Amino acid sequence: MNESYVIGVDYGSDSVRSVLVDAINGDEISSSVFYYPRWKKGEYCDAAASQFRQHPLDYIEGLEATIKDCIQKSGIANIGQAIRAISVDTTGSTPVAVNEQGIPLALLEEFKDNPNAMFVLWKDHTAVKEAKEINLYNQNSPVDYLKYVGGVYSSEWFWAKLLHVFRVDEKVRQATYSWVEHCDYIPFLLTGGVQASAIKRGVCSAGHKSLWAAEFDGLPPNTFFTGIDPLLDGIVDRLFTDTYTSDKPAGNLSAEWAERLGLSTAVVVGIGAFDCHMGAVGGQIEPYYLSKVMGTSTCDMLVAPKEEVQNILVKGICGQVDGSIIPGMIGMEAGQSAFGDAYAWLKQVLMWPTKHLLQEVEGLTEVVREQLLEKLEEKLLISLSEKAANLPVSSTSELAIDWLNGRRTPDADQSLKGAITGLHLGTDTPRIFRAIVEATCFGAKAIVDRFVDQGIPVKGLIGLGGVAKKSPFIMQMMANVMNMPIRIHKSEQTCAIGAAMFAATAAGLYNTVEDAMQAMGQGFERTYIPEEKWVSIYAERYERYKTLGAFIEGKESLTITV
């Protein structure tokens, strides 16, 4: 495997990152980040309406820019001839309407500024009504088509978003031939696909979001979808039946993209998957260890041998799919709709006066204003963490619910809202911040409890992503709340590195992704151990969190003392 390199491409919520990796040992040769310019301007989005759309040009421009930049930065002569494969991960469920040629409608002149013709980002919650209708209809279905997605369909997912777009935009509906996840579209693009019917769908997106299951011989039948709404008539027949694991090739780089990137058409393009799934592999997931990719939201992954869990269906999670994370194992996914986003929300609230009133301060140049804002934004959460870590905590301290962007799991309900209670005149910013951090950790514990209650043991935690790497305060609280150690992976880019591992496997450099993970993994940098003095306090406060959450849902009256 002398002189073999692979590229992992990781599409996040705000940017796309590519890494060029030595396939022999996993060393990162170079990396590049591209921030979506249209998204950065807030185009096509309406946060108040929970509408978050991304233009395909942001993705395509970023794909070309980052890969070319990685190659240029490598400093290795003839590197283009030594690159063997590219694999891609994306956020999900982030689908788009395409025509019969597989072209996203927003790339056509007629739809270039139409948000309904763009990718519907995972965090878009405009389809809450549609998700509820899918859940209601399934309750009376002779076949439980939601059994492998936790029994509850989410507004963040494939079918709810499709139905919403079809209902609100007749022109888009009439122009739509198929509906495609972002992680399936990019490999199709790179391999020069020209027919939507030929798009290879990964089992990851298909099983966790699209209701595909081998037991159903594919997707649910047309009668299931027309029963929900006749507008869906026929669309399932234009989608897919077969799916592929991410260790398999989608094809080879097309001549057009080989020329654009300065690579060879011999480059293998792997089947795509969701960022959290490839991130779990990049973070060296182990059976029964919950791998938590912690960014704007969290995705929590667990793998288990098929023979040990094949008769267990975990309710209220984001699915369990054969081969979705590691081929040959059952992959299970859960997560929180807001994690880093909850802290970002508080920072945005706190920065509002400064951003707006600083403009009125005389004697400051624009450069100085920008420098002040940059420094304040950089230091704010760091300083709050330092202050919050030293606060006394009792059973009656401020308490929060983390559903600021709805609840992903357990039991998806994107209509739910966050809350803070126990406020008084002594409540200050560090106390509010601490309550929000605590709430995100409690939300994480609720996921672990659901797995354990349903018969899936959780042996330990693996922390991945920006929050895990950068916030000792949050990670120590996580260990205390969970009352179990949490190992933090060394890699800054586990999703992109995981994609690189899958690329190496798809190219045949390794027989299995486990082999690639063993050879290319970077290991762990530290472990947070539960602090005994906090465990009992958090156990009590967790019970209060559950009571407050039930009240927010309307399931019981609020009886806790605040």
Q: Which residues touch 392 (CB under 8 Å, ≥6 apart)?
A: none
Segment 357-371 shows an average pLDDT of 87
pLDDT at 451 over 70: yes
Segment 454-459 shows an average pLDDT of 96
Q: Which of these, 333, 97, 292, lies nearest to 209 by C-alpha position?
A: 333
Q: What is the pLDDT of residue 466?
A: 84
pLDDT at 433 over 80: yes
Are the CB atoms for 6 and 23 separated by under 8 Å? yes
Lowest mean per-residue pLDDT among 64-68, 356-360, 402-406: 356-360
Placement of tokens 């090739």 in the chain: 249
pLDDT bin (cut points 50, 70, 90) of residue 465 is confident
pLDDT bin (cut points 50, 70, 90) of residue 1 is very low
> Considering the chain, what percentage of its residues have pLDDT values greater than 90?
90
CA pair distance 324, 332, nearest whole angstrom? 8
pLDDT at 559 over 80: no
CA pair distance 202, 111, nearest whole angstrom? 27
Q: Which of these, 313, 316, 344, lies nearest to 330 by C-alpha position?
A: 313
> What is the DSSP pairing of strand 289-294 with strand 298-305?
antiparallel
pLDDT bin (cut points 50, 70, 90) of residue 212 is very high
The residue count for the chain:
562
**Residue 524 one-letter amino acid:** F
Q: What is the pLDDT of residue 420?
A: 97
pLDDT tens digits, one per residue of 250-307: 999 999 999 999 999 999 999 999 999 999 999 999 999 999 999 888 999 999 999 9
Q: Which of these, 87, 104, 95, 85, lies nearest to 127 by C-alpha position?
A: 95
Joined together, the tokens standing for residue 350 give 């706190």
Where are the strands (E) in 346-459, listed by range? 399-401, 419-421
pLDDT at 561 over 60: no
pLDDT tens digits, one per residue of 318-342: 899 999 999 999 999 999 999 999 9
pLDDT at 2 over 70: no
How much is the CA Rg of the chain, to the nearest whole Å? 23
pLDDT tens digits, one per residue of 82-128: 999 999 999 999 999 999 999 999 999 999 999 999 999 999 999 99
Segment 537-549 shows an average pLDDT of 96
Segment 400-426 shows an average pLDDT of 94
Say what the pTM is: 0.89
pLDDT at 442 over 80: yes
Segment 23-30 shows an average pLDDT of 96
Question: 489 has which bridge partners?
Answer: 524
Q: What is the pLDDT of residue 417?
A: 94
Q: What Cα–Cα distance (Å) separates residue 60 from each residue in 7, 175, 189, 358?
A: 16, 22, 9, 37
Are the CB atoms for 276 and 293 separated by under 8 Å? yes
pLDDT at 562 over 50: no
Q: Which of these, 322, 277, 282, lies nearest to 304 by C-alpha position?
A: 322
Round the average pLDDT of the chain to a whole number and report it: 95
CA pair distance 286, 377, nearest whole angstrom? 36
Segment 469-498 shows an average pLDDT of 95
pLDDT at 557 over 80: no
Q: What is the pLDDT of residue 10?
A: 97
Q: What is the pLDDT of residue 310?
A: 83
Are the CB atoms for 479 and 290 separated by under 8 Å? no
Segment 495-504 shows an average pLDDT of 97
Give 279's Cβ-side CA count (13 Å radius). Answer: 32
Segment 201-221 shows an average pLDDT of 97
Q: What is the pLDDT of residue 358?
A: 85
pLDDT at 470 over 80: yes
Q: Which residues touch 363 (CB under 8 Å, ≥6 apart)?
A: none
Q: Which domains does the chain have, with CATH numbers?
A: 340-463+527-553 (3.30.420.40)
